[in-house]
Structures are given as C-alpha cells and as structure tokens.
A and B are shown apart, each in its own frame.
Chain A
Amino acid sequence: MVITYYKTMANFVMVNSGHNRDDEASKLGMWLFLFTELLLFGGLFLVYSVYRYLNAEAFLEASYELNVMMGTINTIVLLTSSLTVAMSVTAVQKGNTRLALRLIWATIAFAGVFLVIKYFEWTAKFEHGLFPGMDHYNHLESGEKLFFFLYYFMTGLHGLHVIIGAILLGFVIRAINKKEINQGSFIFLENGALYWHLVDVIWIFLFPLFYLIH
C-alpha cells in the first residue's frame, strides 16, 4: 500500500522534487510586504490630511512653491517606467529575455531620470532657503512649515523607495543573466515588478496632494 501511494504521488509531485518551489506563496509574501508599505505611507497620508484640514490656507500658499511642471514630468516618467517593467514580465513569459533585459534597463534609467528631476527640485528649494533650519523656512508660519516638512519627508521616503526598487531590479537583471529567471520561472521578476508598481502607486497619490492644491 505504501508503494502504491508512493507511485501515485510520483506522478504529481516528483516532477518538482529537489526544489520546493511555490510561486503563489512567494507572491503572497510579496503582497503582504506591500501591505505594510501601504500602511506606512497610509499613516503619513493620515498625518497630511489632518494637518491640511487644520491649516488649509497655509498648505495652499506653500504648495505654490512647488513646480507643477516638474511634478507632472516625474509622474509621466514613473508611469512609463511601470509600463516598461510590466512589459518585461510579458517578454519573459514569452521567452524573449533579450527584450526583457532591455525593458528592465529602461525602467532603471527612468528611475534615474526621476531622481535627477527630484534633485533639481530639491536644490531649487534649498537655494530659496526652504528647508527645515534654513532662514526662509524659519520665518514661515507654522502651517507652511508643516507642509514643507511633510513634503520633504514623504517625497524623500518615496525617493528612497525608488532607489531600493532600482537596486532590486538590478538583482533581477543579474538573475536573468544567470538564467535563474526564465520562461518557466519568473516569480522574482514578478515580485520586483510588483515593488516597482507600488512605488508608482504611492507617487500617484503624492503628486496631486502636494503639487496640485490650487
């Protein structure tokens, strides 16, 4: 009876023996992590909404200091990077790893563009003395201070996620080159892409809440 059991099992399970792989579980793990990220930023959005409710006028005044054009360009850059990483998943599923590699490199390049634009935005603010501790900032009323503090903290934390996401995609590229990611096994790429999309989703909310209060 034991032998029959073993033989029956062999038909189903032994195919994968030696490798305990469970893509569904890996993806579930990634999503659970993403939920903690959502709640991390969710808490910050909560702080934002309370202070905006209490300082509506000051938030409006302060938001005029932000450059809508740069914000819009950055939104488009991030949306496009989401497209390229989504297409790279399709490319690997179709077995076209060359295209997938190019698309992931493009995503990393877009991450770079995003950060460079962010750099110019922040340095422009610094030149106007608009950073906690600087002269101009110190003379603002408290509502505007709160706006800038939240702006730096939330876009800064988001920028950190952009950097981490780009590094993660670097590891994905390495795994593709080592053939660890291929047409039959691409959960690492999928999870990397999920992280990247999360970064995009957070920016989708940051952009209107900081740049577009008019």
Chain B
Amino acid sequence: MSENNKSRYLPGDPKEHHVVSYKFSIGIWFGLIILTIMTVLVSVMGINLVAFSVATALIIASTKAIVVVNYFMHLKYDNVVLKILLGVTMLLFVVFIFLTVIDYITR
C-alpha cells in the first residue's frame, strides 16, 4: 500500500494502516458466534443461581465487546491516544456505577 499511495503519508503520521485479512475477520466473527451461543445456552439451560448467571452473561458480553472493539474497530492497531481515551471513558462509567451502587446498598 505504501508503494502506490505516497500521497497518503503525512508528517507525524504514526504508521501505515494495518490491513486486517478477510480470513482473520471471519475467525473473529466465528468466535463471537460461539460466545453468543454459549451465553444463550448458559441462560436457557438454566443455572438457577441468579447472581451467577448475571455475572456469566456480563463477562461473556464484555468479552465480545472487547473483541469487537479491538479487531473489528481496529483499536488494537490504532493510535494509543484512542486507547487511553476509551479507557478514561470506561473509567468514568465505572465511577458512575460504583457511586450509584454504594448509594443504593447503604440505604
């Protein structure tokens, strides 16, 4: 890509675009489908411990989200600034949740 697209280069551009192969994307998709089927089975097969199944559902959902963000959204190969900003946003959200939860459980 760098050969025929010299005009793309700007001073200060951190690096060339990382091209994710079709095969790799399909692999990621397959993993996501497996995780979806897992989360449905855990729920439908019915493990009756409510707290446990909520935790499993959230862990699987978070794993899927992390995979989508890193590979489909290319964050893994992107500028570190974006990663830091996403981290800050998530931290902010965790603070919201945390403060709300301690409010409700201490009433």
Point out residues on A near B: beta carbons under 8 Å: 12-13, 15-16, 21-22, 24, 27-28, 31-32, 35, 38-39, 42-43, 46, 49-50, 53-54, 56, 60, 68, 72, 75-76, 79-80, 82-83, 86-87, 89-90, 93-94, 183-185, 190, 193-194, 197, 200-201, 204-205, 207-209, 211-214
Residues of B with C-beta under 8 A to A93 = 1, 17, 19
Contacts A72-B36, A183-B1; A79 near B29 (Cβ below 8 A): yes
Residues of A with C-beta under 8 A to B96 = 42-43, 46
CB pairs A–B below 8 angstroms (11 shown): A28-B82, A35-B85, A35-B86, A43-B96, A83-B29, A86-B20, A93-B19, A193-B73, A200-B68, A204-B64, A212-B57
Point out residues on B near A: beta carbons under 8 Å: 1, 4-11, 13-14, 17, 19-22, 25-26, 28-29, 32-33, 36, 39-40, 43-44, 46, 50, 53-54, 57-58, 60-61, 64-65, 68-69, 71-74, 78-79, 81-82, 85-86, 89, 92-93, 96-97, 100-101, 104
Among candidates A49, A183, A201, residue contacting B97 with C-beta atoms closer than 8 Å: A49
Contacts A31-B85, A204-B65, A214-B44; A79 near B32 (Cβ below 8 A): yes
Assess the A35–B19 pair: CB atoms within 8 A: no
Residues of A with C-beta under 8 A to B28 = 83, 86
Taking CB as reference atom, which chain A residue is nearest B54? A213
Assess the A208–B43 pair: CB atoms within 8 A: yes
Among candidates B5, B20, B50, B65, residue contacting A184 with C-beta atoms closer than 8 Å: B5
- With the chains together, A5 CA to B104 CA distance in Å? 64
Assess the A31–B61 pair: CB atoms within 8 A: no
Residues of A with C-beta under 8 A to B36 = 72, 75-76, 79, 207
5 tightest Cβ-Cβ pairs between the two chains A and B: A212-B43, A208-B57, A83-B29, A184-B5, A86-B72
